[in-house]
Structure 1
């Protein structure tokens, strides 16, 4: 037997032994108190920042590609990214006066510069707050105010939106532009390319940075279980713990980067969302993978990129799995390099997975994971090799779960209830929102997910329904309260309620129920256009229904179930 064959055999035996241990421990997942523990190996959480964690093994793969644009081939090696991001970090402190704990907003599509900008902000001691690049000025200004941003990074094509947002917010903060061509830098802006390529900048100022693992490093905005967007405070420890959890052998989906091997991961899920930022961007930087960015999604680009860049790991949302199961360009040839496909963002049916596997025409590691912005995001994951496509698996390492009834009492196997989670990846809390924190954290420190789940006798968890009011459009969260507030700004509208209704392609879409002020008349089309001007495309109201009165409880809460019942 050759040395290489012997090494491979040892790895296989090691996996078999670990799988055997996992099987043996599954019966102990349920505790006597009806808590769900994890069967996965315990992790040690390094006492470091995300910046230090990501660059820890840089010397192992300096010449490997960190990020590359699928359309243009423009990209960076790990060594280039390290040097450029540090120069950018130094200039953030020296020229823009960013200090420890200051928030810098990032409003970008998935471009190869995104990882450099994000890690550069952390290197400067800052906090990253991401904004969807298709947001309107109305949406952007609200987040800039809530996050107390001291600067914003964006593209030239988004500059007008940002400028209008700053006017609305009455803010005067620096704008950093990322140029991907030779155009001149717009007036009164900084150029990321110049800040990062400044070979004369004094990087010694970065020694002044003092950030601890418990400090907030990432501030995405989520609607939680209900209501308007809230700032989710994720610490360095939260993200580092979650990356360590992803590395555990029973669930990991990457192979080690070596001189002869580098996993290629498709950066199609948005980096401005926690799924893309943590799982695809930061974690894959920490293991030396190649991140292939897809700025604009269309089927031809998507399938061409999968084949051309030999994508081995794909993190997907349901619309992408559905596309791969139905599109003519989806063939065993275009999908030939895929080794692992992880679905997240929303549940997926077994039949949808089977259609995809028929196109693939071979076995692959296909699993359905579960996470939330508030859990950094990964919280529950099936083991490698599972062929149950409905389950989301077991709590990840160092994580506990409970399924509870309406009185927060734990239920047993095969009983439905709200899913609660506790672990090192759970957020610090919602920024400046003690009321929301008191609603989502129990007295014993569990986070209330707002999702209805069930676990079988072995502890395998399945999401069965959603308690939360969020509408999921193609995996994006749409909070009804936000649309209701926009609707009530219309001069003819007295009251409004929004619910999600089923849609063949998008999963769900928003439908608005509207009560007009006395004597007012307005067409549904006009209301749709009014909302359209104020929100991103995925939040647009698809249907309008006029009512005399919005059904509400005695406490004044909208009875959304009653409204949804009219659409069944």
Structure 2
């Protein structure tokens, strides 16, 4: 009897294993070894050109179309103007500032219409763009200038003081180019951008000396540093061009063709210094002849007005913008009447948050989520046009493979939680001068995302949270994003964040930080009761702190390390 029971258990295990293997073999999204395939055809050929040439390759189709325009001042450039001015700027970078192939140039600018001109000029001069958040302190700036080995800094006149202070700390002295946006005077010791870009006499023959290939670096952003110090992410021309081509897949593309009678308008409110906006909005949309409406900083009323004034039909968001558009007093179907596509990225949002926004729109538009990282140029997944499940980020892009693995990097199957691994032409070359980080990040030829995810049978990915941000309660894993979504459903809570804090018996326990409406009268007990009725006992919250705002990166990710500090 004992041996029969043992045989039965063995057969049952075998049958379950066989069923799983048969499923993986027979289902088109999964291979037998647990690789999740894209449903799309691979890119036939990645253009063998630089990002500079890629962006301008169809310039003759839309020279008179608006390339970039400021939502506040109305100042802007046509595509032809942008090309000519960036061309002269590139020549002067080489002639007057002695920039050579592979030199890094730091750009510390908000979203102004000149940003694309600056970026394209750097690329044409053979340089590498490295971007710096314009609200950084001198200590943060000097660290990045040293790490990136920048040769020039480009900024606004009112930021020059911070740059010079950074020079003093780092004991360096670099040329500073000032971009004047409101007729300011040129600060002492700087060069005016317009003098370099409007120089009609500059000898452009020096640009023939530039020798950059598709495999050379072109962009060096620094990862957001939500869990540690930022790292320089080395992105090649091929990485970003591949991602642009991947985003052109008809089933997922977020733009319409620019024609004699139509030009999409994209509101560039997400910062260009971040890869999401730099690649998805600036480089990709310029290559499609689309109008970039730039907004230097988020001012809620002006943001809402710009949607109407500039007839914005394509909008790329991060969660804070979705929350704003769902709760702003001006939110209405009238304000949103031009919107056709709204894509959330940078961090996941819950279906309930998406529903609240869609309730304001009051009509069917394309709303979906995408997923990516600085290290993947950035897009990995995108919800297709017909996807109405707001909780997923869609399947893998063309030429992209994924895996969900356990802590020992062994492949998992459908609907199992694990770390997401990525392989594709958009994956970075590596972290600059950081072999230890590279060794920890790459497993064979797979990039380890550090994100907890699951995939359904069709290969549709759902992002749960960052591995390092999961809260471990008595051995159970609690994703902060899940509790944050519950908290935001409370009628008095405008925003929320959750972290894990040490606990004497549980190991860790969730702690909530909330921003409430000014008029609201709510206490800690009410909030805890609200959450705890909706979650399992091990996920319950018993500690709440009230804040004026939740600390976040420019791309909308919660800075949990600041909350823990």
What TM-score results when the alignment is normalised by the length of structure 2? Answer: 0.80
1:34 matched to 2:34: yes
Alpha-carbon deviations, 1:74-133, whole Å to 9, x = none?
000000000000000000000000000000000000000000000110000000000000
Matches within 5 A, 1:344-493: 344-443=345-444, 445-469=445-469
Whole-Å separation in 2 of the counterparts to 1:165 and 1:97:
22
What residue is the counterpart of 1:496 in the other structure?
A: none
Q: Following TM superposition, by how much is the alpha carbon of 1:544 offset from its aligned partner in structure 2, in angstroms?
A: 7.6
User: In the superposition, relative to structure 1, how do residues 303 and 249 fare at CA in structure 2: closer, same or farther (>3 Å)?
Assistant: same
Alpha-carbon deviations, 1:289-314, whole Å to 9, x = none?
00000112111100110000000100
Gaps of 5+ in 2: 1-24, 471-479, 485-496, 500-508, 517-550
Which stretch of structure 1 is more off in the superposition, 281-290 or 459-468? 459-468
Whole-Å separation in 2 of the counterparts to 1:502 and 1:295:
31
Aligned partners of 1:135 and 1:536 also within 8 Å: no
Q: Following TM superposition, by how much is the alpha carbon of 1:539 offset from its aligned partner in structure 2, in angstroms?
A: 6.1
Aligned partners of 1:225 and 1:449 also within 8 Å: no
What residue is the counterpart of 1:561 in the other structure?
A: none
1:103 matched to 2:112: no
Aligned partners of 1:134 and 1:536 also within 8 Å: no
Aligned partners of 2:157 and 2:184 also within 8 Å: no
Whole-Å separation in 1 of the counterparts to 2:26 and 2:364:
25
Alpha-carbon deviations, 1:17-51, whole Å to 9, x = none?
xxxxxxxx994011111100100122121011100
What residue is the counterpart of 1:253 in the other structure?
A: 254
What residue is the counterpart of 1:284 in the other structure?
A: 285
Aligned partners of 1:93 and 1:124 also within 8 Å: yes
Aligned partners of 2:419 and 2:448 also within 8 Å: yes
Which stretch of structure 1 is more off in the superposition, 349-358 or 106-115? 349-358
Aligned partners of 1:225 and 1:468 also within 8 Å: no
SS at match of 2:360: helix
Whole-Å separation in 1 of the counterparts to 2:511 and 2:219:
32
User: In the superposition, relative to structure 1, how do residues 85 and 505 fare at CA in structure 2: closer, same or farther (>3 Å)?
Assistant: farther
Q: Following TM superposition, by how much is the alpha carbon of 1:540 offset from its aligned partner in structure 2, in angstroms?
A: 10
Q: Following TM superposition, by how much is the alpha carbon of 1:213 offset from its aligned partner in structure 2, in angstroms?
A: 0.6
Aligned partners of 2:70 and 2:294 also within 8 Å: yes
Aligned partners of 2:318 and 2:555 also within 8 Å: no
What residue is the counterpart of 2:493 in the other structure?
A: none
Q: Following TM superposition, by how much is the alpha carbon of 1:66 offset from its aligned partner in structure 2, in angstroms?
A: 0.2
1:327 matched to 2:328: yes
SS at match of 1:28: coil
Aligned partners of 1:127 and 1:217 also within 8 Å: yes
User: In the superposition, relative to structure 1, how do residues 322 and 289 fare at CA in structure 2: closer, same or farther (>3 Å)?
Assistant: same
Whole-Å separation in 2 of the counterparts to 1:259 and 1:215:
35
Aligned partners of 1:220 and 1:232 also within 8 Å: yes
Whole-Å separation in 2 of the counterparts to 1:207 and 1:168:
37
Which stretch of structure 1 is more off in the superposition, 84-93 or 39-48? 39-48
Gaps of 5+ in 1: 1-24, 481-498, 507-531, 546-568
Matches within 5 A, 1:287-306: 287-306=288-307
Whole-Å separation in 1 of the counterparts to 2:100 and 2:159:
26
SS at match of 2:233: strand
Whole-Å separation in 2 of the counterparts to 1:441 and 1:34:
18
Aligned partners of 1:347 and 1:463 also within 8 Å: yes
Whole-Å separation in 1 of the counterparts to 2:455 and 2:261:
42
Alpha-carbon deviations, 1:235-271, whole Å to 9, x = none?
0000000000011101101000001000000000000
Q: Following TM superposition, by how much is the alpha carbon of 1:468 offset from its aligned partner in structure 2, in angstroms?
A: 3.2
Which stretch of structure 1 is more off in the superposition, 350-359 or 300-309? 350-359
Alpha-carbon deviations, 1:495-515, whole Å to 9, x = none?
xxxx99644459xxxxxxxxx
User: In the superposition, relative to structure 1, how do residues 328 and 437 fare at CA in structure 2: closer, same or farther (>3 Å)?
Assistant: same
What residue is the counterpart of 2:312 in the other structure?
A: 311
SS at match of 1:395: coil
Q: Following TM superposition, by how much is the alpha carbon of 1:184 offset from its aligned partner in structure 2, in angstroms?
A: 2.1
What residue is the counterpart of 2:235 in the other structure?
A: 234
User: In the superposition, relative to structure 1, how do residues 227 and 259 fare at CA in structure 2: closer, same or farther (>3 Å)?
Assistant: same
Whole-Å separation in 1 of the counterparts to 2:154 and 2:146:
15
Whole-Å separation in 1 of the counterparts to 2:442 and 2:564:
36
User: In the superposition, relative to structure 1, how do residues 249 and 536 fare at CA in structure 2: closer, same or farther (>3 Å)?
Assistant: closer
What TM-score results when the alignment is normalised by the length of structure 1? Answer: 0.79
Aligned partners of 1:225 and 1:469 also within 8 Å: no
1:175 matched to 2:176: yes
What residue is the counterpart of 2:148 in the other structure?
A: 147
User: In the superposition, relative to structure 1, how do residues 542 and 236 fare at CA in structure 2: closer, same or farther (>3 Å)?
Assistant: closer
Whole-Å separation in 1 of the counterparts to 2:336 and 2:400:
34
What residue is the counterpart of 1:70 in the other structure?
A: 71
Whole-Å separation in 2 of the counterparts to 1:453 and 1:126:
37
Q: Following TM superposition, by how much is the alpha carbon of 1:465 offset from its aligned partner in structure 2, in angstroms?
A: 2.4
User: In the superposition, relative to structure 1, how do residues 357 and 144 fare at CA in structure 2: closer, same or farther (>3 Å)?
Assistant: same
SS at match of 1:257: coil
Whole-Å separation in 1 of the counterparts to 2:107 and 2:431:
19
SS at match of 1:222: coil
Aligned partners of 2:395 and 2:460 also within 8 Å: yes
Whole-Å separation in 2 of the counterparts to 1:438 and 1:383:
34
Quote the RMSD (CA, aligned, Å): 2.7
User: In the superposition, relative to structure 1, how do residues 387 and 294 fare at CA in structure 2: closer, same or farther (>3 Å)?
Assistant: same
Whole-Å separation in 2 of the counterparts to 1:543 and 1:258:
48
Aligned partners of 1:225 and 1:450 also within 8 Å: no
Q: Following TM superposition, by how much is the alpha carbon of 1:55 offset from its aligned partner in structure 2, in angstroms?
A: 0.2
What residue is the counterpart of 2:52 in the other structure?
A: 51
Whole-Å separation in 1 of the counterparts to 2:284 and 2:150:
25
Whole-Å separation in 1 of the counterparts to 2:229 and 2:184:
38
